[in-house]
Amino acid sequence: MSTHYNAFISYKHADLDNKVAAMIEKDLEHYHIPARIQKKTGIKKIERIFRDTDELPITSDLSATIEEALANSDYLIVLCSKNTCLSTWVEREIQLFLQNHSRDNIFTVVADGEPNEVIPQILLSREVQITDVNGEIRTVTEKVEPLACDYRLQRKDVKATEVPRLVSAMIGCSYNELMDRQRQYKMKRLTAIFAASMALFIGFGAYMIYSNHRINENYINALSNESKFLANESEKYMNDEQRLKALWLALAALPNEKTPDRPVIPEAEKAITKATRAYVANDGSANITATWNYTMPDTITDFQMSFDGSACAAIDASNNVRVWNHGSHELVYEYSSVDDGAKHIEFLDKDILMITGYQFVMAVNTSDGSEMWRHEKLSDEWISNTIRDGFQVMKDGSVMVATDSDGLYKLDINTGTILDVYTIPTESDDYRSIAFAGFQFSEDGSKLSFFTSFKTGAPDCLVVCDMKTGDLTYLDCAAEGYLPDGYYFLKSKWIGNDTIVFATTRGMGETNYSYENKNVISTNKLGIFCINADDLSLRWQDVFAENSFAYDSEFTIIDDVNGVLFYAGNIISIWDRTTGELLESYNTNSPITNMQWLSAKESYPMFFTHDGGYIDLNNGDAAYELLPNDDSLIISYYFADGMDKAIANRGAYVHKEGSNELIFYSVKAYDDDICFFKDSPSYLAYDNNIEYGCSEEYLSIFSSNGGKASVSIFDLSSMSFMNQVEIGNEDSLYGYELVGYENGYTYLTDSSGKGFDLLEINNATGELTRTTLFDETYDCKAVMGDGEIFYYVGDVINGPALYSYDLEKRVAKGYGVDTDSYSKNVIEFDKENDIVFCGGDVDQILNLKRRDKKTKVIEHSGEWAETVKAVIDPESRKIVTTDDHMIEIFDLEGNSLQRINCIEVEVQGMYVFSQDDTSPKELLVMYANGELYRYDYETGEFIAKTNLENASKFASQAAFYHDKDKNLLFVQAGMVTHMIELESWIELAAINGGMAYNAQNDAFIVMSEVEDYEKKVGFYRRYSTEQLIEKGNKLLEGTEISEEFKQQYGL
């Protein structure tokens, strides 16, 4: 991890500059901070100043060390002298620093010359972007006046006044406190000499107050900058699936015991919201998310899960072993020995872990961490610690442990008692037994197979031993051509009690491998052989070809197809175990890290891939029916890229190659602080045929529960269910649209048939009234008016028409519209100005105050496709329209006022916005790519944009709600609710599955699964910062973080 620096000194390598730069470094790093200020700020000293002592050649780039130091420095100190203009590197370092920091974090130190002559021009001006009257973005330059620290003074004056000024700004303390004794002495002298001059005294006091204010501002700014850094690092760790570190840093970026006066910044709120997974609902999907990390002292070489998933054990490159409880994450056992390190771990039973070294064997109870038994020296020879090839748990409650040349030991897993030792003598007197490399027992345990050599060298024979008689039969695989020169045995597997399959492969240096930054990839051909175990004759053979790195390989039996499966590299193949016919072969396009059977009920195992993929061949996914070929695969990417092993059990444990951490992924990980609506009906968790609409008072959910289209009404004041009403005989929701709510009724329109109907639902009783507004139509839109419904229809016979339906009198009235084109896309109503707007191929305005009751056609001032969205601004008496290529603003008379170019992405919604009654108005535009643009409402100039996370590309309409009291903006697009802080315009949260923000309850409305395949309507109260901090601290209870990590971030 990168080193954090308090400051970076940028200067020209010349005699004077070198001397002054060394002074600055020494002055700052040797500055003694008084104990009282240390306690207040928590900073004991300025620890790290980066000063590069090597001159860079003119033609080189900035070194990676300098670039990293600039990125990880809080402040940049630019040494300014007459030599500065001769350096190309000072300006480049300033430019690189400004990519991640504000100009306020740059100090200048004048070594000689005049400030306006020696300070780099880049600090005397800055470029800003403006949008001119033509809507074009131009870059202009404006002057700035940076503050300078004067090192031209006498050395004693520099140390007395200038160094404390730098220090106070960097550590965020009061300058007055640093200078207190000196100032007190000066004040006494000044008081004695100028006692009669009250004006001077007042002026000096004012200066002191001003200085103190500035220093306090710098202190708060320093804390804010530190919080931004910690919050950004937290997000990086969260994205890298290291949640514990993300939580530690997110909490450090907020007020805590160490820095209680730390300001709350939106970046920190966003970081803690992500790290705590606040507002994450159980949406009915797998919702697989990294939620915990387990750390070893060194790089993890292997890890195992207990059979029931209650414990996880890991071993690292320094031979340490740790065991954690799955539920509590508590470390229940730890083994560490310099002289007798662990080499292998293996679960023998649900709570028995075997640990082996070169010669010792022991067992640990993983439920309480107690040692059950131990053999300090099982035999005179080394134990075979090859993963899964030197051990086998037997059905009789024993475990077989192989040694290099001392036989095969049978141990009782509960007591460690040596039940038997199997040996096969060798011709050499130096060894008690031949080696049992890759040993396997037949299904009934009556036969044992292994690979060995009766001569010196690598194993070249397959041996089968009858366990009852002790008779041996062996197959010289090299002589039979099964093991060519350069090949060795890889894996073997018994099929029943009479058949053995094994694989051979080339040596390590001849297959796919990597060195330095290069990968050597070629097609590696493995031999697959099926042998009759009774006479060792060949049943069948095949060639298995893969062209990727082989992290693991294994055989397994597929009973459903009478098959045997083998995987290695990026290939999975299945053969008929009787005939050898190749039944299936799959290319995963990424190395397979390991295989796992989830349960005995499954027909096929699951596979994990190096790029974070998960493969299930059981065809449970309906999408398998849509695959084009038999060898097609569905790969789900849930996990970290670069992993070398994964185990699924009560979630999934994943190890990234070269890491000392295990990542635990929870299944259906969600925020359980959810409240459900009273009496909420259940919905199918995987039903995508659900739509919704809401107001401040009511929520309506359209679904097809029970095979019929229905609408459920919820009361948002009491957060309770009211009624569910069937609205159609079909399960399709096509053609139904929520118009609005009025006087305790919900109003919908239905255009699913030939006509156009109005549906009125009494929210209290559920009574449904259906009124046909038009017999035949093909395009129709409706909007809620003041006691009436306005609707635009495409009359099949007479052409388009605009009507209003009086909800009390229950009569319809028509208005004159343009009949040459259609305004079928948009209809909006402005109650304040009595305006109806219809948009589409042609845009029309109906002023209800006019006597003629006819629409006025709006003429667009340039190229225009068709209007797809529009909003009316009653206060400014304007209409904002868009065709997804351009935005055009009109007054209510139809006069064009402004045109704004879109970004050639679909517009999901527009909103006229102002921070308060005195602030200028802005036009907010939500695009389908998740970008929220801000434009000046009067000039159309681009202001800024905010990138919203998890944005729904398929949302038909984005809705906005501005809470002025909380200074928050809520954007609802599809099933995602975005919460934005308006001072910084930073998105604090993106609530997936969200349907609305309800202001009266300060809550987010969501759907969340309650049982398998069922979900209900619920809500999350909006968390305060204090509640998020409490939530984060609760998650971290009982956890520890390394001292190295704490020191790196000053925790």
Q: Give the strands of the sheet with 878-882, arranged side by side.
A: 869-873, 878-882, 886-891, 896-901
> Which residues in 707-744 are b (16+ Cβ under 10 Å) and which e?
eebbbbbbbbeebebbbbbebbeeeebebbbbbbbbee
pLDDT of residue 845: 95
- Strand, helix or coil for residue 178: helix
pLDDT of residue 962: 95
- Give the pairing of strands 768-774 and 777-784: unpaired
Helix orientation angle between 243-252 and 1025-1035, rounded to the nearest 10 degrees: 140
pLDDT of residue 719: 94
The CA distance from 1039 to 1037, in Å, is: 6
pLDDT of residue 37: 78
pLDDT of residue 286: 55
- Of 179-188, 593-602, 779-788, give the lowest mean pLDDT range: 179-188
pLDDT of residue 617: 84
pLDDT, greater one: 710 or 207: 710
Helix orientation angle between 198-239 and 266-276, rounded to the nearest 10 degrees: 30
Q: What is the pLDDT of residues 758-776, one digit of tens each?
A: 999 999 999 999 999 988 7
- pLDDT beyond 70 at 182: no
Residues ≥6 apart with Cβ < 8 Å to 563: 557, 574, 575, 576, 577, 583
pLDDT, greater one: 803 or 514: 803
What residues does 998 pair with on adjacent strands?
1003
End-to-end distance of the chain based on CA atoms, in angstroms?
Answer: 15
pLDDT of residue 80: 92
Grade residue 190 by pLDDT with cuts at 50, 70 and 90. low
Mean pLDDT in residue range 99-113: 88
pLDDT of residue 914: 93
pLDDT of residue 1002: 95
Token pair 């329209």 in the structure block, residue:
881
- pLDDT beyond 60 at 546: yes
pLDDT of residue 199: 55
The CA distance from 673 to 655, in Å, is: 30
Grade residue 147 by pLDDT with cuts at 50, 70 and 90. low
- pLDDT beyond 50 at 966: yes
The CA distance from 805 to 5, in Å, is: 70
Grade residue 608 by pLDDT with cuts at 50, 70 and 90. very high
pLDDT of residue 185: 47
- pLDDT beyond 90 at 887: yes
Grade residue 956 by pLDDT with cuts at 50, 70 and 90. confident
Name the token pair of 888. Answer: 């055009």
Name the token pair of 624. Answer: 């398998």
Grade residue 889 by pLDDT with cuts at 50, 70 and 90. very high
Using a pLDDT cut of 70, give the percent of the chain over it.
91
Grade residue 541 by pLDDT with cuts at 50, 70 and 90. very high
pLDDT of residue 244: 87
The CA distance from 523 to 511, in Å, is: 8
- pLDDT beyond 90 at 1000: yes
Mean pLDDT in residue range 560-589: 94
pLDDT, greater one: 621 or 141: 141
Q: What is the pLDDT of residues 341-397, one digit of tens each?
A: 899 999 998 899 999 998 899 999 999 999 999 999 888 788 876 545 678 888 888
- pLDDT beyond 50 at 58: no
Grade residue 200 by pLDDT with cuts at 50, 70 and 90. low
The CA distance from 891 to 879, in Å, is: 6
Tell which residue, 828, 714, 707, has the closest CA to residue 761. 714
Residues ≥6 apart with Cβ < 8 Å to 699: 692, 693, 713, 714, 716, 995, 996, 1005, 1017
- Fold for 5-171, please state it: Rossmann fold (3.40.50)
Residue 982 is which amino acid? Answer: L
Q: Give the strands of the sheet with 524-532, arranged side by side.
A: 487-495, 499-506, 524-532, 538-546
Q: What is the DSSP string of 213-231?
A: HHHHHHHHHHHHHHHHHHH
The long-range contacts involving 517-525, CB below 8 angstroms and separated by at least 24 positions, are 519/549, 521/547, 521/548, 522/547, 523/547, 524/550, 524/569
Alpha helices for 240-313 (secondary structure H): 243-252, 266-276
Burial of 299 (0-12, 13-18, 19+ CB in 10 A): middle
Number of neighbours of residue 242 by Cβ within 10 angstroms: 23
Q: For residue 678, what is the DSSP state?
A: B
Domain ranges of the chain: 5-171, 225-287+1036-1049, 289-435
The CA distance from 529 to 500, in Å, is: 8
pLDDT, greater one: 1033 or 214: 1033
- pLDDT beyond 70 at 193: no
pLDDT of residue 885: 94
Mean pLDDT in residue range 905-926: 93
- pLDDT beyond 80 at 74: yes
Give how far the C-alpha of residue 916 lies from the chain's centroid of Cα atoms, to the nearest Å.
Answer: 34
Mean pLDDT in residue range 888-907: 94
Number of neighbours of residue 957 by Cβ within 10 angstroms: 13
pLDDT of residue 208: 66
Using a pLDDT cut of 90, give the percent of the chain over it.
51
- Of 321-330, 366-375, 516-525, give the lowest mean pLDDT range: 516-525
Grade residue 61 by pLDDT with cuts at 50, 70 and 90. low
- Identify the top-confidence range among 256-260, 405-409, 420-424, 928-932: 928-932
Residue 439 is which amino acid? Answer: F
Q: What is the pLDDT of residues 807-841, one digit of tens each?
A: 999 999 999 888 888 888 999 999 999 999 999 99
Residues ≥6 apart with Cβ < 8 Å to 619: none
Grade residue 227 by pLDDT with cuts at 50, 70 and 90. very high
Q: What is the H or E stretch that residue 856 is in?
A: strand 855-858
Residues ≥6 apart with Cβ < 8 Å to 760: 745, 746, 747, 768, 769, 770, 771, 807
- Of 160-164, 512-516, 597-601, give the lowest mean pLDDT range: 512-516
Grade residue 687 by pLDDT with cuts at 50, 70 and 90. low
Q: Please state the length of the chain.
A: 1051
Mean pLDDT, the chain, whole residue set:
87
Please, are residues 708 and 731 in contact by the beta-carbon 8 Å criterion? yes
Please, are residues 936 and 913 in contact by the beta-carbon 8 Å criterion? no
The CA distance from 546 to 972, in Å, is: 48
589 dihedral zone (left: phi>0; alpha: psi -120 to 50; beta): left
pLDDT of residue 59: 46
SS (H, E, C) 516-585: CCEEECCCEEEEEEEEECCCCCEEEEEEEEECCCCCCEEEEEEHHHCEEEEEECCEEEEEECCCCCEEEE
Name the token pair of 332. Answer: 């229940």
Mean pLDDT in residue range 201-214: 67
pLDDT of residue 435: 83
- pLDDT beyond 70 at 509: no
Mean pLDDT in residue range 944-951: 91
Q: For residue 436, what is the DSSP state?
A: -
For the domain spanning 289-435, the CATH number is: 2.130.10.10
pLDDT, greater one: 422 or 148: 422
What residues does 969 pair with on adjacent strands?
962, 980
670 dihedral zone (left: phi>0; alpha: psi -120 to 50; beta): beta
- Calculate the alpha carbon distances from 939 to 209, 441, 900 in Å: 42, 82, 9
Rounded to two decimals, the pTM is 0.68
Q: What is the H or E stretch that residue 653 is in?
A: strand 652-656
Grade residue 203 by pLDDT with cuts at 50, 70 and 90. low
Name the token pair of 127. Answer: 């470029």
- pLDDT beyond 90 at 327: no
What residues does 839 pair with on adjacent strands?
826
Name the token pair of 637. Answer: 């990417």
